[in-house]
Structure 1
Amino acid sequence: MNKLLALSIIGLSFLACNKKTSSKTKEEKPNIIFILTDDQRWDALGYTGNALAHTPEMDKLAKSGVFFKNTIATTPICAASRASIFSGLQERTHNYSFTSKAMKDEYMEQAFPRVLKQSGYYTGLYGKFGVKYKKLDSLYDVHENYDLRYDRKDITSYYYKTLGKDTVHLTRYTGEKALQFLDKAPTDKPFCLQLSFSAPHASDNTVEQYFWQEENNHVLENVTVPDANISSDEDYNKLPQLVKDGFNRLRWYWRYDTPEKYQHSVKGYFRMLAGIDNEIAKIRTKLEAKGIADNTIIVLMGDNGFFLGERQISGKWLMYDNSLKVPLIIYDPRNKEHKDVEQMALNIDVPSTILDFAGVEAPKSWHGKSLKPFINEENVNLERDTILIEHLWDFKNIAPSEGVRTQEWKYFRYVDDKSIEELYNLKDDPRETNNLIHNEQYQDVLNNLRAKCEDLIEKYKDPYALIIENNTFDGKAFRWIVSKDSKKQSAYQILLASSQENINKNIADVWNSTKIKGNTKEVVKPKALKLEKGKTYYWKMRIYDELNRTGAYTKAQKITN
């Protein structure tokens, strides 16, 4: 072999070796599967020590990954929580809930699936999107949006989708769509698959409430479910009347008011969770078969918590931890060091976390923080002192509420009557049974939390909300001017009170117009409304925009008749 040929061979070998080394050192973007369950409370896992839960696959993910023990759904209702997850924003900002006509485009333009898709990820969604938005093609390469059928009054609420010739449970259908996605996803780019299970949400319009797959009949089959914690008459009587009069109590009658209903409903809830667990097992098996398990991150979270009979109520919506806390597991097969995290994580952290794993910068407007550092770093501190918790849906059967939570304390109040307040020391009273609102020893804590609540409400206010520039009352009519396009007003509400204190607490002890649809800017004083001569009154108002999003109340105006 001559010297020139030898040098050439050595040079080519060096280049080949160097090229091989470079491809190894270049970090491969991970695939991401985001599993969102509906109404799964934080302790509905075997991993938390809950003997009622049959969730071996979820437990494996928790044991091999990072489990966030104090994850909060900043707004405990599925529509608003999902809007927060997509947008990375507090409900106070996006102002979306069930009766909104649509999610505002300005917020969805930075939705995390769209950002991922634009950065080169292959994105998919199967299951409950949960937000009114017509441009799903801009978010996902492939998608199928469906939920349980609330218009059905029987088992077909969950059994209406088909695989081949078989009509299957929605949980099975979603699992199968996931397997098909994994088979068809392109191999030249990473993917992000969002699986949004309807389970274990109840079929509200049915007698049975819960429908599960036959294969899960064994779950709790020979078990008598113990009574719910803090479910005595005394616990129920502590609730404000506006909660007792609402859907939380009504749905307790649907599910738990007899021992037979209670056993059926609680077992049904956990059997439906077991069905999701079965699908997770199949998905992980498929990942192994495809040879991509070692580079696929799995994130599992519930959209909000749930009452399983505690306080003799059902549903969610309220500011108690039963309603607020959800499970959150992040499993990264590239770093299997297990951790349990005590710090408060939030539903709005998930989009920032997913983008961080993908190596994509999160929009500056988002409110959440990335949780990725907890996976591969030590001594991580989110520096999160106080969070805003809220449920603002303007719906007469569910009292809206707002407050703040720290690691140790929780304060909240009801929006339609701010005189109804609750204060709990979560460290000493994790079940929130001892309301300290009138305890003189904690008035400094109370005042501090009230102030923080006001600060966060101001910080997270909706920048697109309609603003009332001027509202006046001349003794005959209430009038106002909308600063932006006046055609955007779809409704209004006026409150009139006998004192500054009452109007500040939204107590309309003189007159409450309630929500009135229309774009009028003038309301003549009702004839039945008699104001005493020489007496001082106070009034405020709010308006709704073209998407039926609730605006904030104006500052109170003084009236001397």
Structure 2
Amino acid sequence: MNRRITFAVFLLVISLCIISCASNEQKTRRPNILFAISDDQAFAHTSFAGCKFVDTPAFDRVATDGVFFTNCMAGSPGCAPSRSSIVTGRHHWQNEQAGQHASSWLKKYVPFIDLLDANGYVTGRTGKGVGPFQYARSEADSLWRKTDAGGIEYSNILYEKGTPDDERTAGGISASNYFANFKYFIENRKGDKPFFFWYGAREPHRAFEQDSWKRTDKKLADVKVPGFFPDHEIVRGDVLDYAVEIEWFDLHLQRMLNYLDEIGELENTIVIVTSDNGMAFPRAKANGYEYGIHVPFAVRFPKEFPGGRIVDDPIGFADLAPTILELTGTSGKGMLPISGKSMVETLTSEKQGIVDANKKYAFSGRERHSSSRYKNWGYPQRMIRSEEYLLIWNMKPERWPAGAPQRIVKGTEDELWPMYGIDANGKHHSDWAFTDIDGAPTKSFIIENWQDEEMAPFFHLAHDKRPEFEMFDIKKDPYCLTNLTGAAEYEKIETELKTALLDELTKSGDPRIVGPDKEIFDSYLRYSPMREFPNPE
């Protein structure tokens, strides 16, 4: 054979080998993960979901290119227990103090992020991590974790008030420049290791700057007022201020996506976007209803997850840890037993609608939220959600769900603020009553007008004591207004949900069910500010 031909064939073979090796290396390269979580955003409030008063192009991109889940339930309607469920893969009631709001994080509850870090991932976060929790303050806290369970923080790059670079759109927005901190993390990553990054926005957590929406092109007429609120311009304006902060979260996510695209990392990055619980309004956040636990959820990874799909399987936050461990080839050894189920088969499927027929239910729960009752008692709830129905077990129906209606004046033993927190001039003071509801124009408007004939139903929906069980057909009744428990035509469904919920609580060792101390959650110390309330008995 001619030497030139032989040499040419040799070069061709070498070239093909190099291309093949590069291709194989690309295929076997472990994916990055960008996990983006907003703070207090209900499922309905993305433009992808059809909301007309909010614009979320980053979320829409992830949902359009990826997989959009219509039935994602947060681990809890409050941030700390919900985030605990995410990183441990366990229901918050399994995590002792480390599953409760503003208590201590025990080091034995190892988050999956630690295992990713040990498995060759570069990990970091910006903004809000896994909190609020009290982490170790000194060697005396020997059983407590020292650092945030969300990873090492990158939040030093801040907006400075009054400078030309301060582009914040509302007064309540955090000073942290989330995108700039993410970019710094990526630029200072050593080697070519894959990364896991937790983008934890502090928006749209209250307090909002009231009427910040007026500096935008938003219109009161565009607001779809949930059926558990009065349709009034104060409420509509409050919802638009909330929308302004959702868009801030989305803006920084959009910048992160664009940056990853520019540096050639986006297609090898799994992007997960969600929120920790529902909107911070009455009968939403800190409640087991749809607008308290149902959150947006979308995942993008086109090279492995067929995109353009809408999945209706009920999923919960305990499912995230096993999913991420499997996707990254990371063993769960070192973590306590995981209760969630990996969603990898659903993500890699080409099906829509119900993909995993065996995944019939998602679970959620709550104990304490803020300091809102006598002796810091909580309002224990457990929730089970199917594709069509939501069942809520209010385990202490004798307690006030939104917090006690009257508070002891700070610094006194028994002097009380006025009932419902309404002073002699008719003005409501949010910190005086019903303190499991964040202070808000909507809250004050409803309470100040509670005796008005048209307003009274909304007051009672948000604040009255509730029956032990509530069940809703969320397809027909997404606002959870019609309790179906006890209705003959729903008896079979009610029995099925109660049985499945009790089975899960028993299997997962919920102290409220299996003991030995069924009241242990009320005994955990709280490290955030405390309030005093009269004995309700």
TM-score by length of 1: 0.67
1:280-322 CA deviation, whole Å, 9 max, x = no partner? 22212211221222212211011111265xxxx2551212111
| Kept in 2: contact 1:307–1:316 (CA 8 A) | yes
Q: Percent identity, aligned pairs only?
A: 22
Give the corresponding residue for 2:418.
Answer: none
Partners of 1:103 and 1:29 lie apart in 2 by 30
**What amino acid is aligned across from residue 218 of structure 1 in structure 2?**
T
Partners of 1:185 and 1:382 lie apart in 2 by 41
Higher relative contact order (Cα pairs below 8 Å, separated by 6+ residues): 2
Distance 1:141 1:341, change over 3 A: closer
Partners of 2:226 and 2:515 lie apart in 1 by 45
Partner SS, residue 177 of structure 2 = helix
Distance 1:100 1:268, change over 3 A: closer
In the TM superposition, residue 20 of structure 1 has moved relative to its aligned partner by 4.2
**What amino acid is aligned across from residue 29 of structure 1 in structure 2?**
R
| Kept in 1: contact 2:83–2:130 (CA 8 A) | yes
Structure with more of its chain in strand, by fraction: 1
Give the corresponding residue for 1:143.
Answer: 153
Give the corresponding residue for 2:324.
Answer: 354
Structure 2 gap segments, 5+ residues each? 137-144, 399-466, 527-537
Distance 1:372 1:106, change over 3 A: same
2:210 is the counterpart of 1:230? no
**What amino acid is aligned across from residue 479 of structure 2 in structure 1?**
R
**What amino acid is aligned across from residue 422 of structure 1 in structure 2?**
E
- 1:436-475 equivalences under 5 Å are 436-461=484-509, 468=516
Partner SS, residue 224 of structure 1 = helix
Which of the numbers 389, 401, 414 marks the counterpart of 1:409?
389
Give the greater-gyration-radius structure (CA).
1
Partners of 1:140 and 1:428 lie apart in 2 by 37
| Kept in 1: contact 2:70–2:311 (CA 8 A) | yes
Give the corresponding residue for 1:51.
Answer: 52
**What amino acid is aligned across from residue 437 of structure 1 in structure 2?**
T
Which of the numbers 328, 333, 337 marks the counterpart of 1:365?
337
- 1:18-167 equivalences under 5 Å are 18-26=17-25, 27-95=28-96, 96-99=98-101, 101-107=103-109, 109=110, 111-131=111-131, 132=133, 133-134=135-136, 135=145, 142-144=152-154
Distance 1:201 1:332, change over 3 A: same
Partners of 2:484 and 2:150 lie apart in 1 by 48
Partners of 2:253 and 2:62 lie apart in 1 by 10
| Kept in 2: contact 1:293–1:333 (CA 8 A) | no
2:230 is the counterpart of 1:196? no
Which of the numbers 265, 284, 305 marks the counterpart of 2:238?
265
Distance 1:315 1:219, change over 3 A: farther
Partners of 2:325 and 2:485 lie apart in 1 by 41
Q: Which moved more, 1:344-353 or 1:127-136?
A: 127-136
2:347 is the counterpart of 1:375? yes
| Kept in 1: contact 2:125–2:150 (CA 8 A) | yes
In the TM superposition, residue 98 of structure 1 has moved relative to its aligned partner by 4.9
Give the corresponding residue for 2:474.
Answer: 426
Distance 1:28 1:136, change over 3 A: farther
Partners of 2:211 and 2:223 lie apart in 1 by 21
| Kept in 1: contact 2:211–2:237 (CA 8 A) | no
Partners of 2:43 and 2:344 lie apart in 1 by 20
Partner SS, residue 202 of structure 1 = coil
| Kept in 2: contact 1:414–1:420 (CA 8 A) | yes
Partners of 1:281 and 1:211 lie apart in 2 by 25
Which of the numbers 377, 380, 393 marks the counterpart of 1:400?
380
Give the corresponding residue for 1:338.
Answer: 308
Partner SS, residue 348 of structure 1 = helix
**What amino acid is aligned across from residue 372 of structure 1 in structure 2?**
V
In the TM superposition, residue 260 of structure 1 has moved relative to its aligned partner by 5.0
Distance 1:282 1:232, change over 3 A: closer
Partner SS, residue 105 of structure 1 = coil
| Kept in 1: contact 2:154–2:182 (CA 8 A) | no
Partners of 1:126 and 1:188 lie apart in 2 by 21
Structure 1 gap segments, 5+ residues each? 147-157, 234-255, 469-481, 483-540, 550-561
Partner SS, residue 424 of structure 1 = strand
Partner SS, residue 170 of structure 1 = coil
Partners of 1:138 and 1:231 lie apart in 2 by 36
| Kept in 2: contact 1:101–1:548 (CA 8 A) | yes
**What amino acid is aligned across from residue 429 of structure 1 in structure 2?**
D
In the TM superposition, residue 97 of structure 1 has moved relative to its aligned partner by 4.7
Distance 1:382 1:343, change over 3 A: same
Partners of 2:35 and 2:196 lie apart in 1 by 7
Q: What RMSD, in angstroms, separates the aligned Cα atoms of the two structures? A: 3.7
In the TM superposition, residue 45 of structure 1 has moved relative to its aligned partner by 0.4
In the TM superposition, residue 461 of structure 1 has moved relative to its aligned partner by 1.7
Give the corresponding residue for 1:298.
Answer: 271
Give the corresponding residue for 2:529.
Answer: none
Give the corresponding residue for 2:444.
Answer: none
Distance 1:187 1:139, change over 3 A: farther
In the TM superposition, residue 351 of structure 1 has moved relative to its aligned partner by 2.2
Which of the numbers 192, 216, 219 marks the counterpart of 1:218?
216
Distance 1:138 1:543, change over 3 A: closer
In the TM superposition, residue 174 of structure 1 has moved relative to its aligned partner by 1.4
**What amino acid is aligned across from residue 283 of structure 1 in structure 2?**
M
| Kept in 2: contact 1:296–1:333 (CA 8 A) | no
Partners of 1:143 and 1:136 lie apart in 2 by 13
